[in-house]
Structures are given as structure tokens and as C-alpha cells.
Structure 1
Amino acid sequence: MTQTTMREAFFHPSAADPATDLRIDDASLVVLSSGETTLVVAPEVGGSIAAYYGVVGEGASQRVLHWLRPATRAALADRDPLRMASFPLFPYCNRIRDARFAFDGREIDLSGDGNRYAHALHGHAWRRPWRVGARTSACVELQFEHVPDPQRRGDWPFRYRASQRIELIGDALRVTLAAQNLSESAMPFGMGHHPYYPRTSNTLVTADVEAMWHAGADVLPTHLGSHPAVDALEAGMNADAFDLDNNFGNWKRSATIAWPNEQRSLTMTADAPFDHLVVFAPANDAQLCVEPVTNTTDCFNADEDTRDRSGYRVLQPGEAISAELNWKPQRD
């Protein structure tokens, strides 16, 4: 699909083409609403958010403003989280080199778990269904529990529970991520969310970051250092300015995605320990991700010198963690 047609295929609640209409009356979806704002959640597609939009204007002038890149009906039918608006990352973020790392005196081998990538990617919770818990018209709680299966090749060998509380507060979106180690031993851990944003030729991304993790051809980090994108992000970086799939360190946990020609913007804020930011803005592509995460790519394989800067984290038996992410729309 070309960049133009991909952008045109976005879900619209009154789309004439049924192939791109997400059908919010689908029983597998959870639809939340607050005023003129709607959030569509797809629990069975990795606990993903499928759409987040507001309706403005009246009558013939009414239009839909998508704050995240919406899924299509085809994406939902294919159960493809990578084509959703956003999906959760548990029990780690980004890639693990060759799907292997050493922990507590043993090798953890995640290869062959069904992930089609050479390196383990984004954990596994995004590729499995989540259970719907308590819900109201503007809020839903999703739960996921992983019990290791020693007969399943590449399975994550630690038991844990994860949850998402997804809610609309006015027109703002809040997602509270939480997890608890249910194993009898310590467990390496990371979490995050993977939001996609509408990308146009003048989309701007603004964030205060200290440095960028440079990466090789395999998109694995080589070193933390300076890059023109660091200054560009502080000033307001055009999404087309660089070819990026990189982690940024020591961001101030606030980033704004703006569409100046549409006179609107979306500001994302995060609690600690979401101390790392991923910007995925590949050249000649319609995708744009600005992701809050707790750990950098391949942090489980980080050496002693970089481990503290990578977000490497261990949850002790019974230990729990929880933190909020917020997205606030603004129209000029």
C-alpha cells in the first residue's frame, strides 16, 4: 500500500467503503465515549486501542479528527496489532538481540515463540488476547496473565500479571499500565505502549531529550550520543526530517505531536519509570510512532557500563509496578 492510500484508508465512522469501516458495533470491540470523543478498544487483538477520535462541527460541516492512526476493518479481521492505533508492550519493550539473553545464571531463549522477527520484539502480550474486566461508558480495565509453558518453545519463563486501565477523561486519554511478578524468582521486566499517529508532510514532533541511541543495520543500539534529531526535537522536528527508528534518553516525559495545517496537536505525558522515548519515523513511509517505554532496545543484554542508562529493571517475587500515560488533544 502506498503512503497516500494508507492514509486514505483510515477508519471513519461514516466511511462509504465498508472495507475500511471499523464497525464500532462489532461485539469484539469495547467502545468508550466522553462527550464528542470516542475510543475503540480491541481486547482480542493484543489488548490494543483501535481508534481514538473526536467529532467536530455540525451537519454537513461535521468532521472526524483522529488523534491516533486508526485501524481498518481489514486490520481487525487479521488481528494485527501492528496495524492498530496503539498496543501494550509486556514484559519488555523493543528488541532483544537474537531473542536471547543471560539472567540469573541461565540463558533465556525466546526464539521460536511465534514472533516472525529475527530478534524478539515487544514481548508477547501484544500478540495474545486480553480479558475484559470492569467497565463503564468511559473506562475499561483489561487483564492479561502469563503462565509459562515449558513445552512451548521460546515461551517467557516467568509468571506475571499485567493490566491496563484505559479511560477517557473529557477528550483526554489515560492509560494506566501495571504488572506484578507472580514467579518465585526475580524477573527482568519492561513495559510501554506503542502509539501510531497520523503522519502528514508537515507533522511536527516536539520533545526535550538529552541524547540518542545510535543503531546499526539490525536496529540494535551501538552507543548513546549526540545527533541532529536531538536539537530538532526540542525545536519541533518535522516527521520527515530524518530516517528514525531510535531510542532517546533522558526525555522530560512530555512530547507533542502537532499538525499545524490542521491547527491541532496532541500532547503525551508519562509517569516515571517511562524514562525512555522511541521515535519511529522511517523515511518514505506513512508510519509515525512516538513511544513511551521503560527500557531501551536490547537492555537485557546491556553491559555493566550501560545498564543503568538502559532502563534495565528486575521485579522481585510479588513485586508490582504501575504508571500512567496521558494524551491530551488541543485544537487552536
Structure 2
Amino acid sequence: MTLELLELEDQLTHLTLAPELGGSLVNWTVRSTGQPLLRHNDAQALSTGLPGKLGCYPLVPWSNRIAGGGFDCPDGWLALTPNSLTDPLPIHGSAWQQPWAVLSQSNDEIVLQLDSATPFAYRARQRFQLSEGRLTVQLEVTHLAEQAAWHGLGLHPYFPRTANTRLQAKAERVWLCDGSKLPTEQVELPVEWDFQALQALPASLVDNGFCDWDGHCLIEQPDLGYTLECQATGSDYYLLYCPVGPAFFCIEPVSHPVNAHHLPGRPGLRLLEQGQSIALTFSLQYRAL
């Protein structure tokens, strides 16, 4: 079967989407130079069929890991099973593992939709807009099941990383994690994780959730010749993933911390009744240096 790829172009950039692979964004590049603005992906990456090998994918109806084999809803326990070969816990919801349908396409916008029955009935939509070097992704989920359930949202973009990549993303505190990558306590930002001002990415592993984010993010890529100025709405948290070795990093706008379903007060989650919706938007403005 041939994989269907969708494309958008504006004056400055070019975008490729793979609806069948979890509604994923494959590549976003500068038209004049071919410079990747997200981690570049080739035919081999596409052939894996894994959204985690691509440029960005949606996190619906929750972000990151959930412990305890499930979570409580008003009508009882919702059991979950692990859904990734690389993680022992259920991770990133279910939307990224299902094919999305193309709802509409125009010169500057593509809308994708997923009607899911797993782990409960919901409808998700992604709206991709491209204009004058600005990519805007709007992610929305509507609860369709009769029984209310907890929802959260996020996006999982992968960005190129060089020795001189710098990040600004203001937050107040950060969650420390245990060996299962589950949060244990909130602490003040260590100096090497304080991105109030532009700062180089840490050399050691970071895989943590940052709290009280103002939604603004600046990524400076002097070696690659551009900056991305980003703004998120519907997202008071971000997850920063900086692996040691690979030439990428992730800053993920999310509506809730990791394992929020089991944290006091379920921070950032929304209990949705049938027909109710929540949304998250992330815009990324490309500027040449």
C-alpha cells in the first residue's frame, strides 16, 4: 500500500503530513535551502510506520505515561494496557497509533479527523495552517462516550539539535522523576534547567515536565541559520526531552503533567461529558538569521 502524503506550502516553508501514520507531521523545511525546521525524515523513517520516527505527532486523550494500570472515572475504573514496545506503561494516548481521515484541504490549511473507540469514544481534530513561515497546529478533542472521562492533550515535536542550539522557555518549577520516568516531586529549577533566558541545552539527559509555563518558547539555531518563535495556548506545562547522543530534542506543549491521573487534584486534566471539548494550539514562526 502506498502511503498518502499531504503537502502545504507558503512563501517560505514546505510541510508534509502523513494522515495514516497517527496524523503525524513528517517534515517542515525551508523552501529556498531545504533546511529542516523539525527533525528531518526520509523514506526509511516513513517505512517504519512509527510516528515517533517522524517530525511531530498528537497526544490524545492524554500525554506521556500513566501508572497503576489505568485511572478512575466517575463511573468506575478505566483499565489500560501498555501500548508501546519501548515502554512498560501506557503512553501518549491512542490517537498516534490510528490512521486519521482528511476532513478538508485548501492552499493554506489541512484538517484531519479521528473517530476513536479506544480507550473510550472521542473525536480528535488537527488543523494545520501555514502562512508566511508560521506553522499553526490546533488540536481538539470532543468526548463522545456516554460516561464522562478525564482528558488531556499535547503535541510531540522533534527539533534538530547542534552543539549551539539554545532554548528559552520560561517555567517556575520542574518535576523530578523516578526510574520509571514518573514524577516524584516538584522543585525549583536547577541552574542548568533554567531557561528564563536563552540557554544551551544540557549535556546530560533531561526527560522532565516543567510547570507554570507562559506558553512562549524561542529556539535559536545559529549553526542552522534560523530561529523559531513559538507560542502555545491551552498548555501550562511543557515536557523537555534531551537524549544524550541523538541530534534532536523535544519540547512538547502539554495540558497536564506526567501521570496527572494519579496526582492530587489531577492537575491540567479536564473531566469531559459527552459533547464537551478541549483544545490546544501551538504556533511556530520561522525566521532566518
Give the TM-score range, shorter chain: over 0.9
Alpha-carbon shift at residue 234 of structure 1 (Å): 1.2
Contact 2:153 2:279 (8 Å CA) reproduced: no
Q: Secondary structure at the match of 1:288?
A: strand
Equivalent position of 1:190 in the other structure: 152
Unaligned runs of 5+ in 1: 1-25, 57-62, 148-154
Equivalent position of 1:326 in the other structure: 283
Structure 1's 325 and 103: CA in aligned 2 closer, same or farther, altered over 3 A? same
Q: Secondary structure at the match of 2:110?
A: strand
Q: Counterparts of 1:230 and 1:163 in 2: how far apart (Å)?
A: 37
Q: Counterparts of 2:9 and 2:225 in 1: how far apart (Å)?
A: 23
User: Is 1:213 matched up with 2:182?
Assistant: no
Choose from 128, 131, 134 the match for 2:98. Answer: 128
Choose from 208, 217, 236 the match for 1:275. Answer: 236
Larger radius of gyration: 1
Q: Secondary structure at the match of 1:126?
A: helix
Contact 1:98 1:118 (8 Å CA) reproduced: no
Q: Which amino acid aligns with 1:52?
A: W
Equivalent position of 2:249 in the other structure: 288
Contact 1:243 1:281 (8 Å CA) reproduced: yes
Equivalent position of 1:115 in the other structure: 84
TM-score (normalised: structure 2) = 0.94
Unaligned runs of 5+ in 2: none
Deviations 1:52-71 (A, max 9, x none): 01123xxxxxx222111122
Deviations 1:132-184 (A, max 9, x none): 1110122110000112xxxxxxx41x211010011101111011111111111
Alpha-carbon shift at residue 229 of structure 1 (Å): 4.9
* Structure with more strand by fraction: 2
Q: Which amino acid aligns with 1:142?
A: L
TM-score (normalised: structure 1) = 0.82
Q: Counterparts of 2:223 and 2:231 in 1: how far apart (Å)?
A: 23
Q: Counterparts of 2:177 and 2:140 in 1: how far apart (Å)?
A: 29
Equivalent position of 2:53 in the other structure: 83
Aligned residues: percent identity? 30
Q: Secondary structure at the match of 1:87?
A: strand
Contact 1:212 1:230 (8 Å CA) reproduced: no
Deviations 1:9-36 (A, max 9, x none): xxxxxxxxxxxxxxxxx76100111123
Q: Secondary structure at the match of 1:323?
A: strand
Structure 1's 253 and 230: CA in aligned 2 closer, same or farther, altered over 3 A? farther
Contact 2:45 2:54 (8 Å CA) reproduced: yes
Choose from 28, 41, 62 the match for 2:4. Answer: 28
Choose from 222, 233, 243 the match for 1:260. Answer: 222
User: Is 1:73 matched up with 2:43?
Assistant: yes
Structure 1's 209 and 253: CA in aligned 2 closer, same or farther, altered over 3 A? same
Q: How many corresponding residue pairs? A: 287
Which deviates more from structure 2 when the two are superposed, residues 239-248 or residues 42-51? Answer: 239-248
Contact 1:268 1:328 (8 Å CA) reproduced: yes
RMSD between aligned alpha carbons?
1.7
Q: Secondary structure at the match of 1:145?
A: strand
